[in-house]
Amino acid sequence: MKKILLSALYLFIGVAAYSQQPGSESSQDTLKISADLLKKIEAEPDLRKMEELYKEAAKKYDERDFGLLVFDMTIKFARAGDTKKMMEYYNKVDSFNRKAAYAIAVQSLAGANPKDAEPLLKEMTVSQKPKPKVNGTVKPVFSRNYQTTCAIYTQTLLKNGKDKEAYDYISGLIGEQGMENPILNEAYIQVLLQTRRYAEALPVMEKEVVAMTVSPETKAKFKDVFLKVNGANADFSAYENKLIQGMETSLAAKVAKKAVKVSATDFVLTDLSGHKVALKDLRGKVVVLDFWATWCGPCKASFPGMQKAVNKYKNDPNVKFYFVHTMDKAADPTADARKYIKENNYSFDVLMDFRNKETLSSAVAKSFGIKAIPTKIIIDADGFVRFNTVGAHPDADTAVMELSAMIEFSKKPVLPKS
pLDDT for res 250: 82
What's 18's DSSP letter?
G
What's 133's DSSP letter?
P
HSE-CB of 151 using CA atoms within 13 angstroms: 28
Q: Which residues of 347-376 are buried (b: 16+ CB within 10 A; e: fewer)?
A: ebbbbbbbbeeeeeebebbbebebeebbbb
Residue type, 173: L
Residue 384, in any domain of the structure: yes
Residue 155, in any domain of the structure: no
Q: Tell me the torsion sign for CA atoms 38, 41, 42, 43.
A: positive
Q: Are 321 and 349 in contact (CB under 8 A)?
A: yes
Residue 387, in any domain of the structure: yes
| Average per-residue pLDDT for the chain | 88
Residue type, 167: Y
For residue range 5-20, list pLDDT tens digits in order.
Answer: 444 443 333 333 333 3
Give the end of a domain, one of 112, 134, 165.
112
What distances in angstroms separate CA 44 from CA 47, 59, 69, 70, 204, one per listed residue? 7, 19, 12, 14, 43
Q: Are 331 and 320 in contact (CB under 8 A)?
A: no
Q: Is 375 helix (H, G, I), strand (E, B) or coil?
A: strand
Q: Which range marks the domain in which residue 51 is found?
A: 2-112
Give the end of a domain, one of 112, 127, 143.
112
Give the end of a domain, one of 85, 112, 139.
112
Residue type, 187: A
Residue 217, in any domain of the structure: no
d(CA 16, CA 128): 19
Residue 216, in any domain of the structure: no
Q: How many domains does the chain have?
A: 2
d(CA 61, CA 56): 9
Of 308, 311, 314, 320, nearest to 395 by C-alpha is 308
Q: Tell me the torsion sign for CA atoms 187, 189, 191, 194.
A: negative
In degrees rounded to 5, what are phi and psi of residue 204?
-70, -45
d(CA 62, CA 66): 8
Residue 99, in any domain of the structure: yes
pLDDT for res 133: 57
Residue 253, in any domain of the structure: no
Q: pTM higher than 0.75 for the full model?
A: no
Q: What is the CATH number of the domain that holds 306?
A: 3.40.30.10
Cα R_g (the chain), whole angstroms: 25
Of 157, 258, 251, 169, nearest to 213 by C-alpha is 251
HSE-CB of 69 using CA atoms within 13 angstroms: 24
Of 264, 300, 273, 271, nearest to 374 by C-alpha is 300
Q: Is 178 helix (H, G, I), strand (E, B) or coil?
A: coil
Residue 122, in any domain of the structure: no
User: Which residues does the chain have with pLDDT short of 70?
Assistant: 1-30, 132-140, 414-418
pLDDT for res 24: 40
Of 333, 339, 350, 346, nearest to 289 by C-alpha is 350
pLDDT for res 415: 59
